[in-house]
């Protein structure tokens, strides 16, 4: 993957720099930031800009307000947390491209920060409206892309603005491209991919992209159910995604001649009515009233063995209902087994990063991407609009 021109070469002193950050963070019941991980990840770039004398204008979205102003999705709690991390105030413009935002931007001094309100309050953001992109661009003189989690979206702030201003990749985006490129360009073998989660319809292109590239593809969670069903296994009362049976069967047929070994669960941990504790059952022998909730002990052993000795591992998605402690063992134990393996281990971002932290296994990865969908599309080899628009190094 070609490197992008980085912020280190940007002439920022005394200039207004628009920085697209991904501060789409969870808020707690009081409206405060519940997890500041994404804010912390952007700090090296923000501290660089401050030290270099930039006048930094931050652009972000929060949640899905649908193009309307929603006070519950204001970026003010985010700005308060960022102010604490930076040790200086970060005011929030009441609007995005209106007169107050223009006035705030004009009064910025070197080393100061301003945050515009939630970009998605304006319908022009997600529509990549040229007029909205032009209004945003007029607020700054340079653009820095630091929101890797949004570069797979062709929105006004990720595509429209960098087309109008001299543009650079932030330090986080540079690292994302550098680290994820190791999975695309030169994965050291044996290369294993571990994928869980829910919907085959969403992840089938990802799974197909690994055929012929990875040595082993391990599939768990609800994602495995349609493949098991396509192979003729009865799953009891376990819900199986509808409308994907033929695609799952075709995938398994293609996999046979691809050089990639697909490993599916051989047993599950299931809930049964009237049974206090979950019980393990071999696939094909699941009782009619049982619902699979996690991979079983035999599958944990098989998956762990398949990962032993690998030189490259990519993981995305839980192998069961890992948010519930009773069904977290599969994900926790398989990922924990990676601690004893050599090589390079990467996790996709989003929910996977949170799960890894919650289960205490984040430390087994050399790199955890900040992007969920963006990371998945990147490793598929897709062209990401927000990266494609940036000049090459």
Catalytic machinery residues: 38, 199, 350, 373
Handedness of CA 159, 184, 348, 35 (dihedral sign): negative
CB atoms near residue 25 (< 10 Å): 19
Alpha-carbon distances of 320 from 156, 165, 226, 296, 383, rounded to whole Å: 37, 45, 15, 10, 31
Structure tokens at 195: 């994928």
Structure tokens at 342: 């050599």
CB atoms near residue 157 (< 10 Å): 32
Q: Is 149 helix (H, G, I), strand (E, B) or coil?
A: helix
Q: Which residues pair with 19 in a beta bridge?
A: 58, 144
Q: What value, to the nearest 5°, has the Cα angle with vertex 71 and ends 67 and 74?
A: 80
CB atoms near residue 323 (< 10 Å): 14
Read out DSSP for 241-283? -TT-HHHHHHHHHHHHTTT-EEE--SEEEEE-TT-SS-EEEET
Read out DSSP for 76-141? HHHHHHHHHHHTS---B-SSSSSHHHHHHHHT--TT-EEE---GGGSTTTTTT-HHHHHHHHTT-S
How many residues are there in the chain? 393
Backbone angles phi, psi at 143, to 5 degrees: -130, 135
Structure tokens at 251: 């995938």
| Residue 351: burial class (beta carbons within 10 Å; 0-12, 13-18, 19+) | middle
Residue with tokens 């032993």: 308
Q: Is 43 helix (H, G, I), strand (E, B) or coil?
A: helix
């Amino acid at each position: 993957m070609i490197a992008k021109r980085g912020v280190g070469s940007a002439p920022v002193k005394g200039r207004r720099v628009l920085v697209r950050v991904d501060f789409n963070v969870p808020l707690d019941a009081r409206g405060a930031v519940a997890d500041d991980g994404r804010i912390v990840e952007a700090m090296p770039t923000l501290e660089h800009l401050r030290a270099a004398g930039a006048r930094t204008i931050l652009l972000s979205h929060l949640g899905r307000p649908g193009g309307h102003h929603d006070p519950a999705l204001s970026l003010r709690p985010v700005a308060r947390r960022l102010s604490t991390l930076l040790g200086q105030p970060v005011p929030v413009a009441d609007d995005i491209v209106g007169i107050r935002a223009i006035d705030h931007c004009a009064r910025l001094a070197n080393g100061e920060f301003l945050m515009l309100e939630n970009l998605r309050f304006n319908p022009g953001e997600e529509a990549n409206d040229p007029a909205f992109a032009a209004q945003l661009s007029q607020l700054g003189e340079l653009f820095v892309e630091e929101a890797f989690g949004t570069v797979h979206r062709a929105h006004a702030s990720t595509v429209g603005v960098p087309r109008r201003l001299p543009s650079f990749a932030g330090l986080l985006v540079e690292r994302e491209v550098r680290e994820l490129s190791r999975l695309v360009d030169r994965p050291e073998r044996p290369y294993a991919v571990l994928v869980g989660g829910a919907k085959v319809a969403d992840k089938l292109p990802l799974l197909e992209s690994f055929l012929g590239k990875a040595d082993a593809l391990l599939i768990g969670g609800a994602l495995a159910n349609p493949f098991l069903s396509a192979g003729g296994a009865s799953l009891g009362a376990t819900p199986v995604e509808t409308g994907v049976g033929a695609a799952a069967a075709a995938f398994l047929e293609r996999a046979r001649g691809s050089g990639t070994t697909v490993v599916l669960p051989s047993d599950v941990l299931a809930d049964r009515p009237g049974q206090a504790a979950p019980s393990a059952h071999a696939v094909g022998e699941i009782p009619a009233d049982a619902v699979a909730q996690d991979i079983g002990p035999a599958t944990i052993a098989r998956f762990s063995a398949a990962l032993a000795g690998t030189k490259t591992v990519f993981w995305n998605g839980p192998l069961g209902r890992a948010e519930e402690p009773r069904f977290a063992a599969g994900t926790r134990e398989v990922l924990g087994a990676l601690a004893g393996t050599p090589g390079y281990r990467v996790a996709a971002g989003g929910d996977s990063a949170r799960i890894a932290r919650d289960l205490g296994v984040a430390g087994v990865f050399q790199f955890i991407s900040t992007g969920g969908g963006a990371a998945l599309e990147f490793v598929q080899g897709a062209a990401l609009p927000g990266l494609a628009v940036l000049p090459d190094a």
